[in-house]
Structure 1
Amino acid sequence: MYNRAYGSNFSGGIWNGIKNSFKQGTALTRLIYINIGVFLIIKILEVFFVLAGQRGFEQLLLPYVGVPALPERLLYTPWTIITNMFTQFGFLHLLFNMLWLYWFGSIFQNTFSSQKLTGVYLLGGITGAIIYMAAYALFPAFEFERYQSWAIGASASVMAIVFAVCTYHPNYKIYVFLIGPVKLIHLAIFTAVIDLLSIPNGNAGGHIAHLGGALFGYLFTLSFRRNLDLTKGLSSFFTKLGNSRPFRKKTMRVKYKKKVSDMNDMEYNEYKKRKDDRINSILDKISKHGYESLTKEEKEILFKSKSN
């Protein structure tokens, strides 16, 4: 699905390709594009700021895009509870966040759904921001620092997705360079421990926010296994938004309206693989948690596959 979307979208040029892939792509594609787009806008504005003979652009911008450590400041910049999770000032900060988002976001979408990915990203980032503000308000170590601290970055949101995946597939193995196969649960624990131990060494607020995002991802999967979706409200909102008239012709479902009999070999193989992967995922869920753990949608998919 990923290769198909990009393979055809860029035939009309880079800019048209970007617009088409954003409109027709998955939630993962859009989240990555938004993060990269915000980063580029900030860097372009910084260029003009420097050319005008000014310095300190990032420090000037930070209070308007970053979530403040002082909760009362949030009353004056409420939008920062969202903008902070799409803002990175450093290229390496952006790069590593987007790599983790791509790797684990791909697994997340195959396990859950595109709408839930967006919900976990947003709610994980919000949870990270709340825990960040709470920690700076409660702990004496931040008594003076809280007056001049703001948090930015997608890390808390990404950590929510990472921990949601690692909690759902704890024994799934990935190959780490120079180490070999590592279970996702071990990777999650290692990442959380590193963040916890790094709090005294600088960027304490960032590490605390990461742990907040990780906590939400963990709770999301635990709740999902009990048929409770913590992102249900947001998922419904995005579904209604996608079905609304201005967006109806732009949703991903448009490209699946082609009949199976009209598909070429490549399209049919892709369609078949997507369908088989979905069925295997449902069967795997049944073997681990029983038939009752399935959602209504998953039961319908399984029923239709048996009747075909």
Structure 2
Amino acid sequence: MTSIFDDIRSSFSRGNNALHQLIAINVVVFAVLVILRMIMTMSGSGGLYNYLMTFLSVSSNLDIFVFRPWTLVTYFFTHEQFLHIIFNMLNLYWFGMLVREYLGDKRLVNLYVLGGLVGGLFYLLTYNTIPYLQVRADNSFMMGASGSVIAIMVGAATLLPNYTFNLLLFGPIRIKYIAAVMVLLSISGATGGNAGGNIAHLGGALLGFLYIKQLQRGTDLGRPVQAVLDFFRRLFQRRSPLKVAYKNPNRPFASYSSTSTASTFGAVSNNLTPSDDEIDLILDKISNSGYESLTKEEKQKLFRASQK
């Protein structure tokens, strides 16, 4: 058990590890809820558990949602059913690896968060405007990362449409067809028992497509997400202790050398960082001809951009 906690802790202590961090958050929340539900149900407080879940899952009832706006974020980290989280996490891992490899950790997080937000907004909008769904709005709650995951899935398929997965029983299939099937299933399920979830899928799918298309045009729709995350990182980041510099007038070379070296290093680093226009051209080339068509230099530029 200790090693499990150590693994979770290490996944958050390392940089460039967003995919594992997203999966870890979902799994930890699921595990806590499973244990909490068992304890509360066995103690006769099952009704209280159901009430507590309304503070994590997003409600289609605007009178409830307006007092719990944070649920627009917490719902896409919350699962109750084992198969639900397994299916979501497997798809998040498979397609998230692609997005992370080609676009980097930050844009993977952007897709996940924006897909969840747009999926939740689609859910709220449709359940309060479409008559068929309005009659179900009072008692409808939604949870699960499906909207976020399908945003990553469609985003990967938009970026690398001809990338192939080898599926059990089906063999090699291009991911654009996998994404298309998922979207069609969501459309067909929009009037079924899980209408809210399927509508969130469609919102996430639309976001995934638009995000990559805008990124290829040079616009990153996820910059507000990164701005918010950076704010919280700075808020909780430990401040380094003050450093006192001692300047010896008899050794001017040491002081000058340090400054000069730092300036030179910064200049070299900036020269190594590819421009947005270069990355856009590389992404277009990947979209048209696949990752294998890139030269060694282009792959290195893409890798350096993913570390920004």
Q: TM-score normalised by the shorter chain: which range applies?
A: 0.7 to 0.9
Determine helix, strand or coil for the equivalent of 2:161: coil
1:58-93 Cα distance to aligned partner (Å, 9 max, x none): 532332111111233221111101110000010110
Distance 1:304 1:68, change over 3 A: closer
CA contact (8 A) 1:58 1:89 kept: no
CA displacement at 1:224 relative to structure 2:
0.5
Q: Percent identity?
A: 32
Q: Report the Cα distance in structure 2 between the residues aligned to 1:289 and 1:31, rounded to whole angstroms.
A: 26
Residue-pair matches, total: 257
Query: Residue 123 of structure 1 corresponds to which residue in structure 2?
Result: 114
RMSD, aligned α-carbons:
3.0
Q: Report the Cα distance in structure 2 between the residues aligned to 1:125 and 1:161, rounded to whole angstroms.
A: 10
Q: Which runs of 5+ in 1 are unaligned?
A: 1-9, 250-280, 291-297
Query: Amino acid of the residue matched to residue 285 of structure 1?
Result: L
Whose helix proportion is higher, 1 or 2? 1
Query: Residue 269 of structure 1 corresponds to which residue in structure 2?
Result: none
Distance 1:114 1:227, change over 3 A: same
Q: Report the Cα distance in structure 1 between the residues aligned to 2:53 and 2:205, rounded to whole angstroms.
A: 24
User: Which residues of 2 match residues 174-185 of structure 1 at below 5 A?
Assistant: 174-185=165-176
CA displacement at 1:289 relative to structure 2:
7.2
Query: Amino acid of the residue matched to residue 238 of structure 1?
Result: L
Query: Residue 6 of structure 2 corresponds to which residue in structure 1?
Result: 16
Q: Report the Cα distance in structure 2 between the residues aligned to 1:304 and 1:148, rounded to whole angstroms.
A: 47
Q: Report the Cα distance in structure 2 between the residues aligned to 1:38 and 1:126, rounded to whole angstroms.
A: 19
Specify the structure having the higher radius of gyration (Cα). 2
1:96-117 Cα distance to aligned partner (Å, 9 max, x none): 1111111111111111111111
Q: Report the Cα distance in structure 2 between the residues aligned to 1:160 and 1:144, rounded to whole angstroms.
A: 28
Query: Residue 157 of structure 2 corresponds to which residue in structure 1?
Result: 166
CA contact (8 A) 1:86 1:154 kept: yes
Q: Report the Cα distance in structure 1 between the residues aligned to 2:185 and 2:303, rounded to whole angstroms.
A: 46
Query: Residue 259 of structure 1 corresponds to which residue in structure 2?
Result: none
Distance 1:181 1:137, change over 3 A: same
CA displacement at 1:283 relative to structure 2:
8.1
Query: Residue 189 of structure 1 corresponds to which residue in structure 2?
Result: 180
Q: Report the Cα distance in structure 2 between the residues aligned to 1:193 and 1:110, rounded to whole angstroms.
A: 27
Q: Report the Cα distance in structure 2 between the residues aligned to 1:248 and 1:98, rounded to whole angstroms.
A: 35
Distance 1:48 1:286, change over 3 A: closer
Query: Residue 27 of structure 1 corresponds to which residue in structure 2?
Result: 18
User: Which residues of 2 match residues 196-215 of structure 1 at below 5 A?
Assistant: 196-215=187-206
Query: Residue 145 of structure 2 corresponds to which residue in structure 1?
Result: 154
Q: Which runs of 5+ in 2 are unaligned?
A: 241-278, 289-296
